[in-house]
Amino acid sequence: MTFPGSTWHRGIDLIAVERAKSGRGDPPVLTEEEQRYACREMTDEGFSAAFIAERLGVAQRTVTRWRDADALPEGGDAG
């Protein structure tokens, strides 16, 4: 559970994740856990694996593996 106004959740820098998701400015350096968290959020928002991979600076196959490991749906055409 995160509280309103929280900037951290279980070791995840939520501000860095949001910056990576938004694509504004220089992309932050994310830990693998932060990348996976961003992947889950972006998948829930309907973004494609290709879009998420580009935004996070990882291979599309990595996004697919994370989704499979977390039993996430494929996402949509939002990006």
Q: Indicate the domain borders of the chain.
A: 8-69
Nearest to 52 by CA among 28, 29, 77, 31: 77
Alpha carbon 60 to chain centroid distance?
12
Ranges of H-type helices in the chain: 14-22, 32-44, 49-56, 60-69
Is pLDDT above 90 for 25? no
Mean per-residue pLDDT, 54-72: 93
pLDDT at 30: 96
Q: Residue 14, class by beta-carbon neighbours within 10 Å (0-12 exposed, 13-18 middle, 19+ buried)?
A: middle
pTM of structure: 0.80
Q: Which residue has the higher pLDDT, 25 or 54?
A: 54
Mean per-residue pLDDT, 66-75: 81
pLDDT at 68: 93
- Fold classification of 8-69 is Arc Repressor Mutant, subunit A (1.10.10)
